[in-house]
Chain A
Amino acid sequence: MFDWRWDFTFEILPRLLGATLNTLMAAGIGYGIALVVGLVFALAQRTPYWSVTAVVREAVEFIRSTPLVLQIFFVFYVGPQFGIRLSPWTSGMIAIGLHYAAYLSEVYRGGIESVPRGQWEASKALNFSTARTYFRIVIPQALPASLPGMGNYLVGIFKDTPMLSVIGVAELMHTANALGSETYRFLEPYTLVGVIFLAISLPTAAGLRFFEAWVRRTLGMTRSH
């Protein structure tokens, strides 16, 4: 290819692979936050208090319809205005975790709504508490329906981690930018970043499809088309 230097490629590859670990860690931590907070967002919209539902609903809509990169800046810069200094990692994880929590809450909501009404009525007839109904009856059944959406957002959060570079989190994109400005060579760093992303996201997506099929089979939920 045009002016592609293999010696340079092998020189920068270790640094980029090191940064890949940071990228994976950022995606993992962010996703962990999103899984938990997303459930809180979803359940908060199902309480009997309409004001709670309305506020959480609007917050979720707000987070979902504004750019993540702007939210990352917001979290990072607003703290110091009140004397709270957050590190790039902390603010990055808060921003990306909340962003994907909003998305995941919609996935959970869909899953919970897909559980037939009769299951609720049966739990009531058995005198189960609301918590027990959720954790023993509803969520286990809602989970398989939510898996495809959850998988998509796992790959999604991984692909959004480059935005953390804007506040200085040393992930892949940040490292590629640094290499570019040190060496004035952009072809290899940026191309390698793209290749690394493809090499991780395509097998992950395929693996997730496989996992969903396995879960459906294990639970005896083979879909008939």
Chain B
Amino acid sequence: MTYAEFLSQYGVRFIDGAIVTAEQTVLAIVVAVSIAVVMGLMRLSQSLLVRGVATVYIEIFRGTSLLVQLFWIFFVLPLFGLPLEKFTAGFLAVGMNLGAYGAEVVRGAIQSVPRGQYEAALALNMSPATRMRRIIFPQALVLMLPPWGNLLIELLKGTALVALISVTDLMFEAKQINGSTFLSIEAFGTALIIYYVMARLVISPSMRWLELVMARRMGQA
């Protein structure tokens, strides 16, 4: 079978799989960014309890494997009366894992905003909430975008694991096609190339565009 024949026969399934991977990625990004912002801010809280909760969350999710977390969420949570659809368990696990890494990025970026900005906001009699929302966070956002670019590629790669709980994503389709045709180079190679295109031609350029837009809005371009 030539590669063209292979593609004409199985191309649709790769596209279906890629769509599921894209859905998982987008939903996981929403989860990861929300968790990262909340946990990152909690890490900077004055209260020991709030800081402690965020630290425990971050250390647990960064200290164990995504695959372990995914299986735990999918197989163990139902025992606590929290049954999750495999699709939901998939993006939740990926999002919660990358959210822990993101939280450290958010915290680091907020801490890198120069001290004088806090003092100036204080001198202008801004409330702490306004100061964070209008002065500190927008500047931190510009600083945290480049590391987020790397994290989002890690996140996309992480979604490949949801195939192991039978979410029919790109990885799952590649495995199925390999199992029925034994054309391993074609099956896995095509999937690898699609992941590569998603990472290098979709995620990286979008993040660079976002960095440019943000820098311009902050008057730094």
Inter-chain CA distance A64–B196, complex, in Å, is: 9
Chain B residue at minimal CB-CB distance from A81: B184
As a 0/1 sequence over residues 157 to 188 of chain A, the CB contacts with chain B under 8 angstroms (1 = contact) are: 00111110110000001001100100000110
Which residues of B lie under 8 Å from residue A163 when comparing CB positions?
A: 67, 161
Chain B positions within 8 Å of A198 at CB level: 59-60, 63-64
CA distance A186 to B199 in the complex (A): 34
**Chain B residues touching A, range:** 35 or more
When the two chains form their complex, are residues B160 and A69 in contact, meaning their CB atoms are under 8 A apart?
yes
Q: How far is the CA of A127 from the CA of B196 in the complex (A)?
A: 44
A10 at the interface (CB under 8 A from B): no
Is B164's CB within 8 Å of the partner chain A? Answer: yes
Interface contact B68-A197, CB-CB below 8 Å? yes
A-contact 0/1 string along B159-192, CB 8 Å cutoff: 1110110000001001100100011110011011
Query: Are A193 and B192 closer than 8 Å at their CB atoms?
Result: no
B68→A66 contact, CB < 8 A: no
Q: B171 contacts which chain A residues (CB < 8 A)? A: 67, 69-70
Contacts A67-B160, A163-B161: A77 and B178 contacting too (C-beta < 8 A)?
yes
A68 to B94, CA, bound (A): 15
B76 x A201 contact (CB < 8 A): no
Interface pair A162/B188, CB less than 8 Å apart: no
Cβ of A61 under 8 Å from chain B: yes
Task: Known A70-B174, A191-B72; judge A62-B196 contact (CB<8 A).
Answer: yes
CA distance A201 to B191 in the complex (A): 31
Q: Closest CB-CB distance, B93 to chain A, in whole Å? A: 12
Kindly list chain B residues whose C-beta atoms are within 8 Å of the C-beta of A205.
63
| Cα distance A194–B69 in the bound complex, in angstroms | 8
Is A36 interfacial (CB 8 A cutoff)?
Answer: no
Nearest opposing residue in chain B for A190, CB measure? B72
Binary flags per residue of B36-79, CB closer than 8 Å to A gives 1, else 0: 00000000000000000000000110011111110110011001
Of residues A73, A78, A159, A173, which shows the largest number of chain B Cβ atoms within 10 Å of its Cβ? A73
Q: Given that A74-B188, A173-B68, A186-B75 are known contacts, is A202 also in contact with B63, CB under 8 Å in the complex?
A: yes
**Once bound together, how far apart are the Cα atoms of A201 and B58, in whole Å?**
13
Q: Which residues of B contact A64 (CB under 8 A)?
A: 153
The smallest beta-carbon distance between B23 and chain A, in angstroms, is 16
Contact in complex: B71, A190 (CB < 8 Å): yes
B80 at the interface (CB under 8 A from A): yes
Given contacts A65-B195, A69-B171, A202 and B59 within 8 Å (CB-CB): yes
Task: Please determine whether B76 and A65 come into contact, CB atoms closer than 8 angstroms.
Answer: no
Interface membership of B134, Cβ < 8 A: no
Q: Does A6 contact B (CB under 8 A)?
A: no
> B174 near A190 (CB under 8 angstroms)?
no
Q: Determine the distance from Cα of A201 to Cα of B71 in the docked complex, in whole angstroms.
A: 19
B200 near A: Cβ within 8 Å?
A: yes
A198–B178 Cα distance when bound, in Å, is 35
Instruction: List residues of chain B with CB under 8 Å of any chain A CB.
Output: 59-60, 63-69, 71-72, 75-76, 79-80, 153, 156-161, 163-164, 171, 174-175, 178, 182-185, 188-189, 191-192, 195-196, 199-200
19 further A-B contacts with Cβ under 8 Å, apart from A159-B66, A186-B75, are: A61-B200, A62-B192, A66-B192, A66-B195, A67-B159, A67-B160, A67-B171, A67-B195, A70-B160, A70-B171, A70-B188, A73-B178, A73-B188, A80-B184, A173-B67, A191-B72, A197-B63, A198-B60, A201-B64
Closest 6 CB pairs of A and B: A67-B160, A65-B199, A77-B184, A186-B75, A74-B188, A67-B157
User: What are 10 pairs between A and B in contact, CB < 8 Å?
Assistant: A2-B80, A67-B159, A67-B195, A73-B178, A77-B178, A165-B67, A166-B164, A173-B67, A187-B76, A191-B76
